Structure 1
């Protein structure tokens, strides 16, 4: 293992991911729920992709966005969890600087992509509920493709400066990262220069993306709720509200832990370090695990296709 102190970081420099400081003795136990959530996320999201690809009747905007979300969740959880498990199981804590920056970029890039997809899905629900007769003419396949491309381009551009800013600083104090993965601010805090530019840019991206996306999602669901209360029957209101309520739960399960983790890393000095790191892992694992259940199993068309597939295999 390389020394813990360095004077000049290059591409070959090794960082040491510490895991969850203070909970090293129970890393093996913590790995059990982490591994279970990851396996559930992988199985659930691959199932969504398989069913939508297999069923031509599901080739509609809502399910295209759901597939985008599934791919995003797979990349997001896979960008960090395998390395985290290698720390817990094999004490494999070393990661070279370039790999660390790559992990950092993919993790934050796909977090922003996931936020953008939630906005796109809120737009789809708004059009489907508030303008049902125009849904097929507004959200055509080319429009869906353009929305997906715009989400990816926005994320790529906004997150691209982060690894370059992280590489820019001199690292001369320590190469121990008190974390399970290369979270942006956890890495740049190790620099011995003035990191205010990095910190300000991270704050800008977080508040710009979260603020803008939450605003559009809020506007969409406010209009959706108004439309729900205008439905003629109570049953129709409850059914539509139940669907939208589960979608809102998925959105909150993504934004609340992410914002909590982001803010406590910068301002929560009184929050226990191991708790901050656990929350940082939760927002990378829980949404990818929940999304296939909330958007997939609770969606009748996908649930019916899944049951048909299972019953066919059982015969």
Structure 2
């Protein structure tokens, strides 16, 4: 496996990856927040003004090539902010739910909205509109089919303690909030997947990924913490942040980002480019004695199967 798996060659700020199979092109796409790590400016301006970067792989995820940014998402004038895409394929249509902030903020202020786009090919996107989820500060959507039919979305509600809330839909277009799901501590980036007979949710607790297990997507029990200890691989120091999981056959792989420049002994108090830049990494997941585990130092090859 290439280590790091990917770095954005333009802005060097690849974060919040989502991995989706492009059925027409027969290649895997990594769509991510392209933070502007090279930008010198006030406050957290470099985290804003971000496009959605795209890297592609035609060999099952072993090698990734930068292709540019997703076109056609702008619907109002100005330089605006796109964060943390979730792309969900269903019945011939790709549905993208992406966090949106108007303008380029220099502080952690302003409303956050989750926008819904649809596409037949991952390139031409139609805006279906903002979701109404009971708060004006919602980000980090994740979608999974419910076992009894319909769909559930999990997301971070910053106006209500920065914890995970959920909403349900019958058609992926109209969503109704069902309230809080995990409220134990502030966190972000919920991601839900099915693996080895259970549903799993990982959340970014900024100290590693908190893990929860469920039999029905309704009741969740704590299952541990992964990516909380630095890895030995190049650019894999520090915590693993905001992750996506791809289950491929009998294997599951977690894609996450690191801030390797923040893990060094002399990084304390520094806020320059070396602390802003980020790298995408991947590691294999497994379940042992009912616990989700991840050895980020394990030597293995990514082998994502065509869908």
Say which structure, 1 or 2, has more relative contact order (CA 8 Å, 6+ apart).
Answer: 1
- TM-score tier by shorter-chain length is under 0.3
More strand by share: 2
TM score, norm. by length of structure 1: 0.26
Larger radius of gyration: 1
